[in-house]
Every structure is written in structure tokens, then in C-alpha cells.
Structure 1
């Protein structure tokens, strides 16, 4: 029996470009035009499972071959010699939007941090939050090295208010992001850091004038 891989977004941990590995297959329908299969697959990041619905011009299932194959993305086709087509993947990722105008990468990190918190992986949640803050602050101040230095400058320029700066100091972002990740992270700490990250993104990108101020800083 072969092995099947699929690369996509996990609906459980919300990790993007993650590999899923086949567990079992179930025949749904077979007739003269081909066959349909449900393939159960496990996320290689969080180990939780998804169902991939496939259509094939042949009668064999995706696991019936001797080797390994990688399925195409939804709607794609592997090759004429192995014509499996992905029709759907369930469950679908439930995206919780980041604050308006947040750049794609920090928005993805924020979504993934929420998912890791829900799964009880508090250290991964903290790591993703720090990554979101680092990417977002770099987008605002690409010429300033280090999260700590960028955080100080954003505070001094009024991009984030003093109350938020004090909150950042409380969650140890202002002093050193690395110190937060050196220790075991409790659920309360992870939740606090997640709340801070979302609020930071809100002030940095969604408040009135934020979308205009950032390009002006880049140009300057």
C-alpha cells in the first residue's frame, strides 16, 4: 500500500503550507466513468485529521499504488498517468480575521496563535504572537533592527499609546521578546500576549490614519 501526501492549511492548528499524510481510504462510488474516494489524512503539525474527497478516472484508490504521491491542491491534477482530482477538504479552516489592514504574514501568525491557544499549546501560541509582532513592526519600520527597538520607536512616534506600551512591558515584549520564550508559558500568559498582539495590530494598522502613516514612515 502506498502513501499519499497533501499540502494545505490545517483547519485545526491553522498552520499554512503544512503536509498531511494518509491514514485510510474509503470508496464512495465506483462506476464506468471512474471512482470517488474519501481519504483520511493527518496533519504533520498537530496530528489532527481531515477528510480529502477525491475523484479518479480509474477504479483504484489513492492508497492502492506501491509508492508515494503528493495530491494537487484543490481542483488541480497530478498527471495523466495518475489522474486524481481533489474536490474538497473537510473541515474547512475557520479563519478569524485579524484587525483591518493588517499585512498578510502577521495576520496569519495571529490566526495560528489563536488556534494553538485553543489546542493548549501555549508556548507555540507565544512564539507565533512574537513572530506576528516582529513582522508587523518590521512592516512599519523596516529600517529599524530588532523588535525592542521598533517597539520603542513606535511608542515614541505615537503609533501606539502609552497605555499599550505599558501593557507591552507587562507581557515582556518591550524589554526583550526572547525572555518570554525562554520560560514555560502558562495559559494566562499566552492569552495575555495574544490579547496584546491583537490590540497592537489594531492600533498599528486599523485606527484612523494608520494606513497613511506607515507609507510615510517607509518613505522617510
Structure 2
């Protein structure tokens, strides 16, 4: 049988896992554990499966079809897929960043560099939509000038912009070192631009008006 899941190793979502070995969940007749391997990277995961039209004695490894066709549900997976994107990042930017992460894991350095640059490009448009029609170079300068990026972050942004351009337009292939450096910057940029502001907002939301008054009075 084939199980659809998100691979915790290569990061591909909704990928097919091929069932390899089945074992029972204690004395339950309506659920089993299944060791399966990702069709993309060949690495394994264990799935806790709920059974509807089968019993735990059925040999599901030899069954033909997907878990949906066989009326089997995935209750849990180990290890579970964990998003590689920092928290509070918009969904479209998360998609671009994780495409870069998957390309990086697959050894596709040029594709990874291009996607990390796109992550930066779209992020700056979300942060400063009034200047979305400007070049990425101009947008970065504007974000630094209006205080939304530090000077150091601005300088680092230009590094990923230039390296990303090389990945798309350069004649020499992107290197593993460059692609990994782009990923580290993209992660830092997303954390600084989205995760930290969200954390501050959430923390401020915990304060009651009374607490705010005490803080103000103490100041």
C-alpha cells in the first residue's frame, strides 16, 4: 500500500510513502503501525494507521492502492514533518522558502539560491507594499532608511540579492557553500522581519490595562 504524508527528511509535502513493514498496536484490532519509505528520498517514517474495513491481522504491506482507497486513516507519524520556516511568516513566503530548503537538501544549489532570493524579494514587497514596484535594491535601501531594517541587515540583504542573481543569471553554477549561506540569511531575515514582531505583539497582548498603568508609572 501507499501512504500519503509529508516527509520529515526531504521536506516534500504530500509525497508517497511505500509500506515496508507492519506491526500491531498492543492488542488493538482497529489500528496498526507501519514502517514506510519516502518515494523521493527513500528515508523511513512510522505511521500510526486507523483501520475501518480491515483488522490488524490483514497484511496491508501487500495491499494495492492508497490509504484513501483502502479506507485507512493516518492518525500519527514519527518523526513528524516540521516546517523549516520561522514562525509567523505569510503562507506564500513560507512556500518559497521551503522550496529553497527542499532544493538545498536535494543538492540543487542553483534552484535553492533562486528560491531564497525570491523569498527575500516577496518579503520586502509584503513589508513595504507602497514600494513593491521598485527594484529589490531600492526596496532594501528604503527599508533601511525608514528603520524597518538595520544597516547590517540591509548590507546582508544585498548579499543574498547579489548571490541570488548569480544563481539565476550567472554562468558559473551556484556552490553548496553559497546556497547554504543564502539559506542562513533568508532564515535570519524572516525571523527579524516577521517572527520577532509577532512575538512582541503577542507579548503586549498579554498585558492588562492595569499592568500597562504600573509600567507607565514606574517609567
TM-score of Structure 1 vs Structure 2, range by shorter chain: 0.5 to 0.7
Work out the CA distance in 1 between the residues paired with 2:137 and 2:94: 20
Work out the CA distance in 2 between the residues paired with 1:43 and 1:142: 40
Report the equivalent of 1:204: 193
For residue 51 of structure 1, the aligned residue among 46, 50, 54 is: 46
Report the equivalent of 2:9: 12
Work out the CA distance in 1 between the residues paired with 2:158 and 2:22: 53
Change (3 A) 1:85 1:27: same
Q: What is the alpha-carbon root mean square deviation over aligned residues?
A: 3.9
For residue 93 of structure 2, the aligned residue among 77, 96, 106 is: 106
Name the one with the larger strand percent: 1
Alpha carbons 1:11, 1:91 under 8 Å: kept = yes
**Structure 1 residue 90 corresponds to structure 2 residue 86:** no
Change (3 A) 1:33 1:94: closer
Q: What secondary structure is seen at the aligned counterpart in 2 of 1:13?
A: coil
Task: Please identify runs of 4+ aligned residues in structure 1 that moved more than 6 A.
Answer: 29-32, 208-212
**Structure 1 residue 180 corresponds to structure 2 residue 167:** yes
Work out the CA distance in 2 between the residues paired with 1:209 and 1:97: 14
Change (3 A) 1:10 1:124: farther
Name the one with the larger helix percent: 2
User: How many aligned residue pairs are there?
Assistant: 194
Report the equivalent of 2:24: 28
Change (3 A) 1:151 1:118: same
Which stretches in structure 2 are left out of the alignment for 5+ residues? 202-219
Work out the CA distance in 1 between the residues paired with 2:20 and 2:60: 10
Which stretches in structure 1 are left out of the alignment for 5+ residues? 72-77, 213-220
TM-score (norm 1): 0.64
Change (3 A) 1:65 1:198: closer
Larger-gyration structure (1/2) = 2
For residue 159 of structure 1, the aligned residue among 145, 148, 170 is: 148
Change (3 A) 1:21 1:210: closer
